Each structure stands twice: as C-alpha cells, then as structure tokens.
Structure 1
Amino acid sequence: MLLSPKYRFLFVHIAKTGGTSVRAALEGLRWRDPWYYPMFLCSRFSHLSGHRIAAKLPRHAKVVAAKELLPREYFDSLFKFAFVRNPWDLQVSSFHHIRRERPQYLGGHETFEDFLRWKLDPERPYQYHIDTSITLQTDYLIDLSGTVVVDFIGRYERLNEDFATVCDRIGIRAPALPHERQARDRKRDYRSYYSDETAELVARHFARDIRMLDYRFDP
C-alpha cells in the first residue's frame, strides 16, 4: 500500500498484478512530498518495535485497513486505486515467483498442477507466503460491508494504459513503467499450464473475483 498525502492517493497493492512496477514508477513522488520524511521515521519506529505500534500500512494491506485507520474525511478525499489480474494467469505467475525466490514454500510439489492442487487444498496448513495469492483480489477492494471502496480498478492486461489513467487522475505526467520481477522461464499463454480439472479448481476458488472483475479462462 502506498499513501501520498501531497498527491492525495492511496495505491492498494495486490500481489502479482504489476504493483511492484507501479510502486517503482511512483517512488520518485515521495521525495517531493514533505510528509514523506515523518512517514519514513514512523515506518522505521514501527519496524524497530516489531510493528507493535501500528504506524505503518503494510505493503499488501487491504483497503479496509486504511479505511478503518485513517480519518473518514481524509480517506474519502483520497484517490484510491488498485490493479487486478486474471486469476488463472495470476496463479501461474505466483508459482514461478515462489519457485524462483522461495522454493522452500513449494512443499515438495515441483510441477504447477501438483503445486496448485496442494495450494488450494483446504486441509493444508496456512502459510502466509503461499496464501497471499490465495486471497481473493476483491477482498483488497472492499470494506467491512462488502462495498467496493476503491475509485479505480486497473487491469494487469492493460497495465500501461490504465497506469496512464491513474497518473492523469493524480495530476502528473506518466513515468515509464519498469519491468519488475518478470519470470523468464514461463510460457506466455497461461492456459497451457492447465488441465480441465485444475482450471475448474481456480474457477471455484476465485468465483467471486471472476464474477465481480469479469474474467474468463479464455480471454
């Protein structure tokens, strides 16, 4: 999550949706924001305290965290945005990310299909680094009553165009988006990773995302 008091925006960062590139592109705005420096000190104090003073909005916090913590009028005045991704494609991206950077979390399941079945098994013990991509994307966009409270939902599938729209709303010239954390060993077509059975597993688990965000297995 990225909060800018000067430019009055709140970026809700859903994992594996291009958010690292968006954060990197907007990073320079921090140095122009006089609020950044006290926010940085609060963040460091929070880190040193083991985050027991709740002075920081975590990187992948849901929008409801900001709504509950920030003053109501201030929260309502912010331009709140997020990016989402086709759930089937997101699971392929998550698999490659874990295999590349945290292979110990594969649980001994080296192929995508075996890993996905294990990952979506409701009996599997919870592990945070796996379950960030199990959480519904729409959970990041809604408040406690289930109402979508972000103002703009961009799509990974048209990242550059939607990021330009975000920058226009913020009132800045759109900087170039860097290509962050791209997997070099994955196939371009996510559908090639799936059997009918595993595609249906994702369809069931992410049914609300698919319905609310209007995604399909075949784009």
Structure 2
Amino acid sequence: MRHPKQFEHLRKGVNQHPEGNFSLRGFTEREAIFVHITKSAGTSVALSLFGELPYHYTAWHYRVIFGRKAFNRFFKFTFVRNPWDRLYSAYQYLKNGGWDDKDRVWAERHWGDITSFEQFVTEWLTPERLSSHLHLRPQSYFLKDARGRVMVDYLGYFEHLPEDFARIAKHVNPEARLAHTNASKRGDYRDVYNRKMIHKVGKLYSEDVDSFGYGFDTVQRRKVVDQKLVGDSE
C-alpha cells in the first residue's frame, strides 16, 4: 500500500513482445485471475481468454497486486499437468533454447554437460535444484499459501484441456475459443522414463502428485473446496 503507483502499473501496464503482449489488464476487466503455471498450456489459455499473456506470478503475488478484496471477489483459476510429463516438457523446452536468451544461457551454464533426459533426472536433479529455475518449481508453489491453503477457485487439468477450458470460458469470456500455441514437438513422456526415474521424480514432486491426484500415467481429479483439494466425486 506504500507504493500504489507501482501496483497500478503492474495491473495496467503492457510489455510488448513479438509472441504476444504481457499484461494483467484483462484480469481487472473480466474480474478473473489466471495463475499461469509453467508448461501447463498457459500460453494458449491466456491468449484465448484475454488476448494477452500474464506473468508467472503465484496466487499469493496476485493477492498483493490486486489487493485482498478484489482478489477474493475475482474468479481465480489455473491448469495443472502430470508432473512427470511436465518435467520432460520443461527439460526439452529449456534444452532447445527456452523463451529467450536468458533461458538459453541458463541451460547452457547448468546443463551444458547433460546429454540426455535420463542423465538430467538421475544425476543432476535434486530437491535443492527444483528452485533453480521457474520451470522446475513444483506446481504447488504457484497455488498454495504458507499454510498450504489453495488460493484458486477452479483447478483445470492439462489432460482435460478442451472441456476444462470451456467451463472456465463461461465465467471469463464466453466467446473465447481455445487456440493452440507454443506447443512443443516431442515424443510421449512415458517412453523416456525407466523405473528408477519414475520413482525419483515422483518423490521430488510428491506434493504435486498427492495434491492433484496424479500417478505416472493416471489422474484422479481434484477440486477446490474451502481452500482444500478433495476428490472430484466428494
């Protein structure tokens, strides 16, 4: 509250980019907040609903930016993704240059000697390194507060993208149609894991696995009830 002009700029400012402008102004216009988790179809969802891209802020960041009253009033949603699939997507994305030179330089510095996804998982990936790049952070980091409470109203699933997008669009922008952008060209994640890798990634991302109902190649949906995640049938 001591810096109202800075927060107003965050809410209304526009940063131009060839692949799509970055701005949060659509959130205010439509009274909706999209928590854009990395590598979870967020670019397609954001451009389709708002015509612009948000940043990878956490839900807690948005409560600060928009203020508690507006945050509580707005419809808040996100998309989550199978942690094993998401990690493979993030690895391929960063290895191939990422979004910009900053990503490329980071990958070259940290993964220059990494020659395969298996080597990345078994030799490089550790609990401490999950926070070394935004694309490696657990999805729970984006959605939960310090007490573990879920700060969004609706949890969309990457695996059910078309139908979940349609439900969200009814709240946010009924005329929106899902456009697929920023899709990566790669094989099925299930083909690149062995048992040791499956176990290690499941342990490293155990909070996401348990919170969102994922198995290596299965999903049992969760929904948000009173800031907690419960089975979709409950």
TM-score per shorter chain, which class? 0.7 to 0.9
Distance 2:56 2:92 in 1: 19
Q: Partner of 1:11: helix, strand, or coil?
A: strand
Number of residue equivalences: 186
Contact 2:169 2:176 in 1 (8 A): yes
Counterpart among 104, 126, 132 of residue 121 in structure 1 = 126
Contact 1:120 1:134 in 2 (8 A): no
The match for 1:79 is 75
Q: Aligned partner of 1:21: which letter?
A: S
Identity of aligned residues (%): 32
Does residue 12 (structure 1) correspond to residue 14 (structure 2)? The answer is: no
Contact 2:37 2:78 in 1 (8 A): yes
**Displacement, 1:140?**
1.0
Contact 1:163 1:174 in 2 (8 A): no
Contact 2:39 2:89 in 1 (8 A): yes
**Displacement, 1:69?**
3.6
What is the correspondence of 1:81-160 to structure 2 with a 5 Å cutoff? 81-101=77-97, 102=104, 103-104=107-108, 105-122=110-127, 127=132, 131-160=133-162
Show structure 1 runs of 5+ residues with no match. Answer: 31-57
Summarize the Cα distance change of 1:16–1:124 in structure 2 as closer, same or farther, 3 Å threshold. Answer: closer
**Displacement, 1:77?**
0.5
Does residue 60 (structure 1) correspond to residue 56 (structure 2)? The answer is: yes
TM-score, with structure 1 as normaliser? 0.77
Q: Which stretch has the larger CA shift, 91-100 or 105-114? A: 105-114
The match for 1:182 is 183
Q: Aligned partner of 2:27: which letter?
A: S
Deviating runs (4+, > 4 A) in structure 1? Answer: 122-126
Show structure 2 runs of 5+ residues with no match. Answer: 1-22, 98-103, 219-234
Q: Partner of 1:154: helix, strand, or coil?
A: strand
